[in-house]
């Protein structure tokens, strides 16, 4: 069994898409092992998005990610890291196919509803990073 870290972003909560997105995860047969709503700060976002700190959009990303609570989840299943990435769709909303979460509901690259770990090792790192909130 593999684990991944999923986070519903502030826009998912503001747009009342939490139930819809969780239903897609559950319909796929993925198992929610832990779930919690909490609010992020800039410090943890600099760790979580360390690969993006130098990007021009980083301040906008921090602004967005601290604009309201998020919902963190640990999801467990076979090959769940890649499986959840496929269910989410790619980062850029215009490249996300209909049928994916981002493809069906996102129309902005920053406000793209959902985070999912991109590798097994990053999943374990992120679960560690966010476990203090659970
Ligand atoms: N992001 C953005 N503009 C970009 C690329 C990324 O605002 O050009 C934001 C977006 O919210 C994305 C997050 O930064 O989900 C993390 O970027 P990453 O490349 O890790 O994409 P993800 O793994 O979320 O698909
Ligand atoms: Mg990423």
Which of 90, 83, 81 minimizes the C-alpha distance to 124? 81
Whether CATH 3.90.1150.10 fits 2-133? no
Tens-place pLDDT, residues 20-35 = 999 999 999 999 999 9
Which is the closest atom of ligand 1 to the Cα of 85? 25
pLDDT score for 50: 98
Q: What is the pTM of this model?
A: 0.98
Q: Which residue puts its alpha carbon closest to atom 21 of ligand 1?
A: 91
Cα atoms in the 13 Å half-sphere on the side-chain side of 23: 5
CA distance 134 to 128: 11
Collapse the DSSP code of 30 into the 3-class scheme (helix H, G, I; strand E, B; otherwise coil) and give the result.
coil
Domain boundaries, given as residue ranges, for the chain: 2-133
Any ligand 1 atom below 6 A from CB of 41:
no
CB-based contacts of 8: which residues, under 8 Å, 6+ apart?
17, 18, 21, 22, 70, 71, 73, 113, 114
Q: Mean of the pLDDT values across residues 60-76?
A: 98
Tens-place pLDDT, residues 51-67 = 999 999 999 999 999 99
Residue in 3, 24, 102, 115 annotated catalytic = 115
Q: Which residue puts its alpha carbon closest to atom 20 of ligand 1?
A: 49
Q: How confident is the model at residue 45 (pLDDT cuts 50, 70, 90)?
A: very high
How many DSSP H helices and E strands does the chain contain? 7, 4
Any ligand 1 atom below 6 A from CB of 95:
no
Q: How confident is the model at residue 94 (pLDDT cuts 50, 70, 90)?
A: very high
pLDDT score for 85: 98
Strand partners, 114: 8
Any ligand 1 atom below 6 A from CB of 109:
yes
């Amino acid at each position: 069994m593999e684990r991944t870290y999923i986070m519903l972003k502030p826009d998912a909560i503001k747009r009342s898409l939490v139930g819809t997105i969780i239903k897609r995860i559950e319909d796929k047969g993925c198992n929610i092992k832990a779930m919690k709503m909490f609010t992020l700060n800039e410090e943890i976002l600099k760790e979580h998005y360390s690969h993006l700190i130098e990007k021009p959009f980083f301040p906008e990303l921090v602004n967005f990610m601290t604009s309201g609570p998020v919902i963190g989840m640990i999801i467990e299943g076979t090959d769940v890291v890649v499986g959840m990435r496929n269910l989410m769709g790619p980062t850029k909303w215009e490249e996300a196919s209909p049928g994916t979460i981002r493809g069906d509901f996102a129309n902005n690259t920053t406000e793209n509803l959902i985070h999912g770990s991109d590798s097994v090792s990053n999943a374990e790192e992120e679960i560690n990073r966010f476990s203090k909130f659970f």
